[in-house]
A = this chain, B = another copy of it.
Amino acid sequence: MAAFDVAEYRDRLARVQARMAEAELDVLVCVDPANLHYLTGYDGWSFYVPQAVAVARFAGEPLWIGRAMDLAGARLTTYLGADSLFGYPEEYVDARDRHPMAYVGRTLRDRGWARGRVGVELDSCYYTARAHAELTASLPGATLVDADLLVNWVRLVKSDAEVAHMRAAARIAEQAMRAGIEVIEPGVRECDVAARVAAAQFGGTPEHWGDYPAALPSLPSGARTAAPHLNWSGARHVAGSVTYLELAGCHARYHAPLARTVSLGLPPAALERLAHVVGEGLEAALDAARTGRTAAQVEAAWREVITRAGYRKASRIGYPVGLGFPPDWGERTASLRPGDTTILAPNMCFHVILGMWLDDWGYEISETLRVTQAGPPEVLTDFPRRLFVKA
């Protein structure tokens, strides 16, 4: 019932265990929902309560430990045997005097996994300060060490099966973008655009069902486009304004993000010029995303183009994507920015996002790419690379 063949999960486990050996970890306790899914297939909107997957360096199967109510979901979505699934009773939920992480610790002790060096995801959303204190107290014979992003770094290079999911997600992203651009008109509410975009995202295509992306679309109107990360409101689009759409297609938890900008009316000259320069910078960055280059070199290619034209951008221009759960489709490892020495390799996938926010409006364009064996990347998302003008 899990999303991939068992062989793929075994390969992922072996790669994680190899990194655990490098880090001299005996056990790894993951709480990032994407890492739970990556290691076991687990999929459910249960990450608002504590849950974990534990990996031992020399054991053949991870343990899934979550809320008892969610054992049924674990049976339905993971490849794990019944002996590897543990559910904490309901009285642990939202209780002041007991914590699910103490149950996780007890499960590890019962399994004989409570000795040596135990890695934890110290800076992962969902690994709270209290969770860490409870797990530490429940594992007195172990030393807890920071292993944040260990699995995320393994996820950086995708399997061909994962890439196939991302190609499906890209078809969905294109369809959602088309739907959004089509419906944006003066007088239309932002929320009505969101409705059309989400229907295209979730419905997917006849071949590929649409899953929910780890973040919902940003599609502000008017002055709100001057800020990133605003989703939508009941405000109406107005003639003569600029709006961007940042969204992802998602298939079976794999993402392909895509952003484009729409001008409702003839674009001001400043916007046209910016869009032109950003477009050149995007081509330069895409061309630079080759095996053997560093993440910083990709950003440098972009920056050279825009600096020459008199623009600057303080923030990074991209990050790895693939598997993701709320709140974020980014993988939190490499960043396309100065100083990042990550060396690109085949089947790494990045969202290259060029967002320029000025005082009164913003411009965004992005693509999702896959690094290839040689030559320029495969751009997974296939959508006209331009400012869309609806006049």
Contacts and interface: CB of A to CB of B under 8 A. Distances in A.
A202 B209 contact: no
Nearest to A189: B209
Interface residues of A, number: 80
A327 B48 contact: yes
Nearest to A43: B230
A331 to B, nearest CB: 9
Contacts of A232: 202, 211
Contacts of A208: 234
Given A125-B126, A128-B129, A203-B194, A90 B315 contact: yes
A328 interface: yes
Contact of A326 (B44, B99, B326): B326
A166 interface: no
A226 B48 contact: no
Interface string A197-226: 011111110001111100110100001101
A61 interface: no
A214 B76 CA distance: 24
A212 B43 CA distance: 20
Given A48-B327, A93-B335, A209-B234, A148 B123 contact: no
Interface stretch (A67-75, A110-118, A261-269, A368-376): A67-75
Given A73-B230, A210-B195, A216-B212, A48 B330 contact: yes
B130 A128 contact: no
Given A73-B228, A195-B198, 19 more contacts: A44-B227, A46-B228, A46-B229, A48-B125, A69-B357, A76-B226, A76-B230, A94-B335, A124-B128, A128-B128, A129-B131, A129-B133, A130-B146, A189-B209, A191-B202, A198-B202, A199-B199, A211-B232, A326-B327
A134 to B, nearest CB: 9
Given A191-B210, A198-B198, A129 B125 contact: no
Interface in A290-343: 314-316, 319, 326-328, 330, 332-333, 335, 337
Please give the count of copies of this chain that the complex contains. Answer: 2
Which 3 A-B residue pairs are closest in the complex by CB-CB distance?
A: A209-B234, A195-B203, A129-B132
A332 B43 CA distance: 22
A122 interface: yes
A195 B199 contact: yes
B89 A227 contact: no
A23 to B, nearest CB: 14
Contacts of A126: 125
B129 A45 contact: no
18 contacts: A43-B230, A44-B230, A45-B216, A45-B218, A45-B230, A48-B330, A73-B229, A76-B226, A94-B330, A123-B128, A192-B203, A194-B210, A198-B198, A208-B234, A209-B234, A211-B232, A211-B233, A212-B231
